[in-house]
Structure 1
Amino acid sequence: MAQACGLGLLLALLLPLVGASMPGFVVRLNKATLKYVTDVGKVPFQRVLKVTVPYFLDQSQQRIQPIRVQILNVHVHNFQLNFVADFGVHLSAEANFNFRVLRVPESVTLTMPVILSADVQVTQGPIQTPLVSISDCNSTFGPISILDGSNNTSPKMLVHLQNHIETVLNNKLCLAISSLMQVINVHFGTLIGLKPVGPESQIRYTMVNAPTITNDYISLDINAMLFLLGKPIVLPLDATPFLLLERVGAKDAMTTLGLSQDLFDSAILLLQKAGSLNLEITGKLHSVNNQLNTSVLGQLIPEVTHQFPQPMPLVLKAKLGATPIASLAHNNATLQLQPLIEVLVAASNSDFRSLFSLNVMVTLSLQLSVSKVKLQGATKVLGDIGLTVASSNVGSFDTRKVHALVRNVFEKPLLDHLNALLGLGISLPSVANLYYLAPRVLVHDGYAVISSDLFYQC
């Protein structure tokens, strides 16, 4: 798999990439990526070009003598990658091949310049992952020359050696690059594997259609499908195509990843269906500053003291009925929750008695960030919470009397719970060993954008 580094890095970076998906991602891989690939990929690419050269049959003597020819090293310079509109990527490189010719009585060291050119086509594979292939490959050879100053090699033999090496390399270099493409295609298969979101939920990414390729970037439509207990999460309404504007994101970033509103809606629906957003808060009777007991509540609602004259711990069970609403506006992401909070008292024999239930409205700010390959979130309460009585077994009461108590005992556990949950993150589309580097997240109307460099760890 080490050979998949280098040139393969370029194509591995195509995976979190631009288009329209429902729900999904739109990402642009910009020209800055190509420069990074050529920098980090030169050494691995040199290793790929170090092919085996068969014996050369020296016919200059009376008896044909097989002579071993070995590539000592390959030094690649002027390594360039460029986008080709509606096709893929053009590779060009200049290299010096150094050979050792092991002949008797004296070995000789030779060098030969080679210019490589290859067109790498990027399409959609049968398993809905990127598929790369070589459509055209050429090698141009310069004259061979002696490095070690030996004068025992005849010009005629050098001509024969040149022809032998050119014949071998003309086929083998393109085969080596082509085999590298196959390794990369296997690597691409890691895109479609299920990635965990929670204990019982997963996410899977696939390509929606063939890539869109211009002279400035290459793009893919990546679709996200979330699963709960093996069943897909389907939005109540049909998702709409997501298109990313040309001039969003940082200009100097390697990649620009757009996250659709539908993706956020699908992820939140998953959390709701999994019960991950539900919360239970239990009061401890003898703890310091504990407000969750019948004695404190009875000061606000006398009927509670009448029914429970002795202090008893309370339990708050918050359960989401309505689906949470995520709103994405300019530089502002919010999450609106409408839980039903049931206030219960722990009676004898481990039974619970319901005192009353409240409809709660709470709006949270949502701060997005990226760590390696995961999108994470953190929340804070915006403004005040809204309360209305849903049911009561302690008679009628004014919600304003219990507002401060409910807010004090509910907000912090809610934030701790949500931040722990959102801090786990959800995997962004990627292949093995690919990470987002120095990401910047901006929120726009109806979508979010991640501008990031990329790091591929071999």
Structure 2
Amino acid sequence: MAGARGLGLLLALLPVVSAPMPGTVVRLNKAALSYVSEIGKGPLQRALHVAVPYFLDRSGEVLQPIRIQIVNVHLPQFDLKFIADFGIRLSAAANFTFKIFRVPEPLELTLPVELLADARVAQSSIETPVISIPYCLPLLGYSSDFDDSNSTSRALLALVQEHIRAVLSNKLCLGVASLVQEFNAHLGTLIGLNPVGPESQIRYTMINEPTVTSDYISFDITAVLFLLGKPIILPRDPPPFALPEHVHDEDTTATVGLSQDLLDSALLLLQKAGALNLDITGQLRSDDNPLNTSELGQLIPEVAHQFPEPMPVVIKVRLRATPVATLHPNNATLRLQPFVEVLAVTSNSAFNSLFTLDVVVDLSLQLSVSRAKLQGTTSVLGDIQLAVSYSNVGFIDMGQVRALMGSVFEKPLLNQLNALLGIGISLPNVVNLLYVDPEVFVYEGYVVVSSELFYLH
């Protein structure tokens, strides 16, 4: 409960965003339930390891307290399945081993138990998934360990067994409820801010009740990107995003659908942050920027006239328009439209603007997932389009200048972009949850990540 209150306080401190935000959809399939039952067996065994109070033996003249201790809970069977329009049904079979500290010597007793519980999955007040247990029933068996021939001992042990059964019938469901509360606190970490860059973050929240079918549970989640604490708002209202049924794969643990609008928001963030703006500078002999006034002067006579001695050239690349991503089946592309200014360094270290270019760069976009982040790499498609916007050096024959100019800023621009895309954007996840063996599929207007999940204990 303290965790939930803390998360509620965190949410209250975050900026409120009223405009529609990009949507994502997370589907957890039957394979997810198999994985949860596998890794949850240990925590459930510990939750069922409840304390048993002393049994008071009234058979003698004086009350004799008999200490009882659970020494082992073995869970040979633990299954989960979806209940359509409700949540998840839990069924488990356990064998409890007790040590009864009787006189003259202790006795071990084994008791079989079947546990049935229904877990309802809903949306919490802090817009995270929340699980409740409206129904829980322990079915208690009887021990067959009575091998003591003394009828008095057998009678005592029968009473002890009834005492244990009464305790378990009350406490086992409380143990399950306690385990679920811990799990809810963990699910609450969905709303935390995850860094995207030094000054930017992303936050996911649920926007409605989850959809539960007999095959999967689906969560509609909205994503908000922040730059310097302010939300990134697209210039248009994103339409609701729904993940089509045909992308469902019940053999995969998780299926995550990411709308086109999420990519658009990330690209708008890059543009607003000025992350793709760069200055390409160099000396007269520089591998990073081999361009100088002498080389330009061979193609543009006025440059040679203004700079008879070779001087370094500086290239300023500014992204004035938001990059545009396009998603078609099995094909993702990205268009950049930077504005490039070419300046020459004068003898007194001042800068003279030579000319400016409007540039269009079409890129192939390859998406991948590492741990819990969506990452990208790009490569140039076709030729870079260059057009003179303004010139202080007269007529420029772009047919002659194009190859020289493109080679100078293409590599630094791609290096900068790929470094940023390599940082990645966190996918919807909770603390310590990783995406394993992910595959990324591109459809018309959205991206799907199909992945196994791994929880770091």
- Place the TM-score, normalised by the shorter chain, in its bin: over 0.9
Inter-partner Cα distance in structure 2 for 1:426 and 1:289: 29
Letter in 1 for 2:324: I
SS in 1 for 2:383: strand
CA distance in 2, matches of 1:149, 1:369: 65
Q: Which amino acid aligns with 2:398?
A: T
Compute the TM-score of the two structures, normalised by the length of structure 1.
Answer: 0.93
2:15 maps to which residue? none
Residue 182 of structure 1 is matched in structure 2 by 181
- Between the aligned partners of 1:55 and 1:288, the Cα distance in structure 2 is 82
The alpha-carbon deviation at position 22 of structure 1 amounts to 3.6
* Match runs of 1:428-439 below 5 Å: 428-439=427-438
Structure 2 unaligned residues grouped into runs of 5+: 4-19
Q: Spell out the pairing of 1:42-441 with structure 2 (5 A cutoff).
A: 42-146=41-145, 154-248=153-247, 250-287=249-286, 291-441=290-440
Query: Is the contact made by 1:109 and 1:148 (CA closer than 8 Å) also made in structure 2?
Result: no
Amino acid at match of 2:294: S
2:157 and 2:101 mapped to 1: Cα distance?
A: 14
- Kindly indicate whether residue 455 of structure 2 is the aligned counterpart of residue 456 of structure 1: yes
Give the Cα separation in 2 of the matches to 1:255 and 1:419. Answer: 27
Paired amino acid for 1:90: R
CA distance 1:45–1:132, change in 2 (3 Å)? same
Query: Structure 1: which amino acid aligns with 2:233?
Result: V
* Residue pair 2:29, 2:249 contacting (<8 A) in 1 also: no
> What is the SS of the residue equivalent to 2:322?
coil
Instruction: Give 1:202 shift.
Output: 1.0
| Contact 1:249/1:451, CA 8 A, preserved across alignment | no
> Counterpart in 1 of 2:13?
none
Instruction: Quote how far apart the aligned CAs of 1:337 are.
Output: 0.5
1: CA distance, partners of 2:72 / 2:290 = 75
Is the Cα–Cα contact under 8 Å of residues 249 and 449 in structure 1 kept in the other structure? Answer: no
1:445 alignment partner in structure 2? 444
Compared CA separation, residues 418 and 151, structure 1 to 2 (3 A): farther
Corresponding letter in the other structure for 2:393: V
Cα RMSD (Å)? 1.7
Spell out, residue by residue over 1:71-119, the C-alpha distance to the aligned partner (whole angstroms, 9 max, x if none): 0100112210011111111100011000000011111000000000111
Following superposition, the deviation at residue 251 of structure 1 comes to: 4.5
What is the total number of aligned residue pairs between the two structures?
439
Distance change (3 Å), C-alpha of 1:289 and 1:280: closer
Instruction: Give CA deviations for 1:221-278 in whole Å, capped at 9, x if unaligned.
Output: 1110011111111110110111111121544211110000011111100110000121
Q: Is 2:434–2:454's contact at 8 Å kept on the other side of the alignment?
A: yes
Residue 194 (structure 1) shift = 1.1
Q: How many angstroms does 1:150 deviate by?
A: 7.8
Amino acid at match of 2:191: I
Q: 2 CA distance for matches of 1:108 and 1:452?
A: 49
The CA deviation at 1:213 is 0.8
Helix, strand or coil: the match of 1:252?
A: coil
- Contact 1:335–1:365 (8 Å) recurs in 2: yes
1:206 deviates by 0.6
Q: Which one scores higher on RCO, CA 8 angstroms, separation ≥ 6? A: 1
The residue type paired with residue 254 of structure 2 is T
Aligned 8 A contact 1:204 1:225 in 2: yes
Q: Is the 8 A contact 1:329 1:446 kept in 2?
A: yes
SS at match of 1:408: helix
**Measured at CA, do residues 399 and 243 of structure 1 come closer, stay the same or move farther in structure 2, by a change above 3 Å?**
same
* Residue deviations 1:11-38 (CA, integer Å, cap 9, x gap): xxxxxxxxxx840211211001111122
SS at match of 2:208: coil
Instruction: Decide whether the 8 Å contact of 1:108 with 1:146 is kept in 2.
Output: no
Q: Secondary structure at the match of 1:317?
A: strand
- Aligned in 2, Cα 1:175/1:339: closer, same or farther, shift over 3 Å? same
For residue 12 of structure 2, what is the aligned residue in structure 1?
Answer: none
* Alpha-carbon separation, structure 2, partners of 1:358 and 1:151: 101
Mapped to 1, the partners of 2:148 and 2:296 lie a distance apart of: 98
Summarize the Cα distance change of 1:288–1:269 in structure 2 as closer, same or farther, 3 Å threshold.
closer
Instruction: Report the AA paired with residue 447 of structure 2.
Output: A
Q: Which residue of 1 aligns with 2:14?
A: none
2:440–2:449: 8 Å Cα contact kept in structure 1?
yes
- Judging changes above 3 Å, is the alpha-carbon distance between structure 1 residues 148 and 443 closer, same or farther for their aligned structure 2 residues? farther
Alpha-carbon distance in 2 for matches of 1:156, 1:273? 80
Cα deviation for residue 189 of structure 1 reads 2.1
CA contact (8 A) 1:109 1:147 kept: no
Which segment drifts farther, 243-252 or 331-340?
A: 243-252
Q: Which runs of 5+ in 1 are unaligned?
A: 5-20
Q: Secondary structure at the match of 2:104?
A: coil
Alignment partners' CA distance in 2, 1:288 and 1:91: 64
* Structure 1 CA distance for aligned equivalents of residues 148 and 347 of structure 2: 100
Paired amino acid for 1:24: G
Inter-partner Cα distance in structure 1 for 2:225 and 2:200:
7
TM-aligned CA distance change 1:278 to 1:148, over 3 Å: farther
Q: Secondary structure at the match of 1:244?
A: coil
The superposition leaves residues 32-76 of structure 1 with CA deviations (integer Å, 9 ceiling, x where unpaired) of: 111112222212211111110000111222322100000010011
8 Å CA contact retained: 1:265, 1:325: yes
In the aligned structure 1, how far is the partner of 2:304 from the partner of 2:341? 18
Match of 1:12 in 2: none
Give the SS at the match of 1:430. coil
* CA spacing shift, 1:147–1:220, aligned 2, 3 Å: farther
Contact 2:372 2:427 in 1 (8 A): yes
Contact between 2:252 and 2:451, CA under 8 Å: does it hold in 1?
yes
One-letter code aligned to 1:224: A
Work out whether 1:41 is the aligned partner of 2:40: yes
Do 1:108 and 1:150's aligned partners in 2 also have CA atoms closer than 8 Å?
A: no
**In 1, are the aligned partners of 2:146 and 2:154 still within 8 Å (CA)?**
no
**1:90, 1:120 within 8 Å by CA — same for their partners in 2?**
yes
Aligned equivalent of 1:8: none
**Counterpart residue type for residue 271 of structure 2:** Q
